[in-house]
Amino acid sequence: MTLLVTIAFGVLFFACILASIALHELGHMVPAKRFGVRVPKFFVGFGPTAWSVVRGETEYGFKWIPLGGYVRLMGMYPPSGPRTRLARLAELAEGARAAEWAEVLPSDVADERLFYQKRTWQKLIVMAGGPLMNVLIAFLLFWAVIGIHGYAQPQPIVGRVQECIIREDRANAACTPADPKSPAYLAGLATGDRVVSFNGVAIGSYEQLVDLIRANLDRPATLVVDRGTQRLTLPTVNTVIDGVPDKLDPSRRIPAGWLGITPAVVLAHGGPDEVVRQMWTMSVQSAVALVQFPVKVFNVVADLVTGKPRDVYGPMSIVGATVAAGEIAANEDLSVGDRAALFGSLLASLNLFLAVFNFIPLPPLDGGHIAGALYEAARRQVARWRGRPDPGPVDTAKMLPVAYAVAGFLILSGLALIVADIISPIRIF
């Protein structure tokens, strides 16, 4: 029964991913059509066509490889100008331009229905529409989870005191007589204590307390706590320097001050402001992870070859995310509400990551087209300032060799992660 539930909800999650992809492409198509761009194709998936239907001038359908999607906008590449050395070396780009222009109708040019003919602000809206749709999906899902179910909010209240200092590289987590006592234990902190101040600084949140402890390194620390009806000033102790997870890259441990407490956690509810705050933090973390993406993919492959367990903070493919969603739904140790919240949060996180990913300023990603439109606008503005004629649209076809290289890397990385997720999946529970 558990296996059937895992499979069923895994399939449901995969269907939700495909729906997110379709909505992403819809975010491109709707403004494109609104601005008059001819849109001949709208597909979810790649490869041979599984099913399609023509409505108006657009063919809608599904491809057999459900690992993405695309909307085709006519006129992405302007007409070829004078052949330069770069153009002669970029025969693939010229071939792609020729293939597109073989389908351009005279009416497309006359009626300005080609993408390159549109104004900069229109291009920006069209290309940003896809990832912004993913941001909207993530916002609505997170809002539902945070507003209805709630989110785990650590409190400046001691939930547990770690008795001793155990270094991160030790397999045995139990304290031994030889282990030094933790600063929290030496200070006399007890479960249920509410931390009122740290070195004279009033504490308003657990996050603030963590920042103060980390910045304190191995210097003296004096805590004031509320214990029941009493307010106590605890003995001064020195925090210790230990390896703690980096806030922006949890897979990396950094030296920082450490006290030795685990906070009490409550289920809090929040509105749009809390959703935006959490989404911003996750977006920054995603950006940091994307900078390290090539290295992380290499590490996944290396761990797979050497038989090491997967890093829980490492990248995973759509297959891995689908399996994780199925495992969440089938985990009977969680309540139905907790499972629904985790399922929705995972889908929201994936949409937010896709949005950040697509804003990378490299073709063929949306960010590459956005960067091209901004460069085109800047070039025209400089020409106006200098009293020179309009230099015309940027020849984006010249960037196709870069697009092919990026696409090739993403395909190889995706295949590597899919294999890793099948052979050595990340274990959430």
Q: How far apart are CA 32 and CA 413, in angstroms?
A: 31
User: Could you tell me if 397 and 94 are in contact, meaning their C-beta atoms sit under 8 angstroms apart?
Assistant: yes
Q: How far apart are CA 15 and CA 13, in angstroms?
A: 5
Q: How far apart are CA 335 and CA 114, in angstroms?
A: 52
Q: How far apart are CA 240 and CA 187, in angstroms?
A: 13
Active site residue 332: no
Q: Which of 25, 94, 327, 376 is catalytic?
A: 25
Helical residues (DSSP H) of 1-105, grouped into ranges: 2-34, 85-89, 91-101
List Cβ neighbours of 101 (8 Å cut-off, separation of 6 or more).
77, 79
Provide the CB-side half-sphere exposure for 115 (13 A, CA). 28
List Cβ neighbours of 370 (8 Å cut-off, separation of 6 or more).
123, 124, 127, 128, 359, 361
Q: Six-digit token pair at 67? A: 């690992």
Instruction: Identify the burial level of 167 via C-beta atoms within 10 angstroms of its C-beta, where 0-12 means exposed, 13-18 middle and 19 or more buried.
Output: exposed
Q: How far apart are CA 128 and CA 164, in angstroms?
A: 51
Q: How far apart are CA 210 and CA 1, in angstroms?
A: 43
Instruction: Identify the burial level of 4 via C-beta atoms within 10 angstroms of its C-beta, where 0-12 means exposed, 13-18 middle and 19 or more buried.
Output: exposed
DSSP string, 164-213: B---TT-S--S--TTSPBPHHHHHT--TTPEEEEETTEEP--HHHHHHHH
What is the C-alpha end-to-end distance of the chain, expressed in Å? 18
DSSP string, 261-319: EEEEEEEE---HHHHHHHHHHHHHHHHHHHHTHHHHHHHHHHHHHHTPPPPTTS---HH
Would you please indicate which residues are annotated as catalytic (active-site) residues? 25
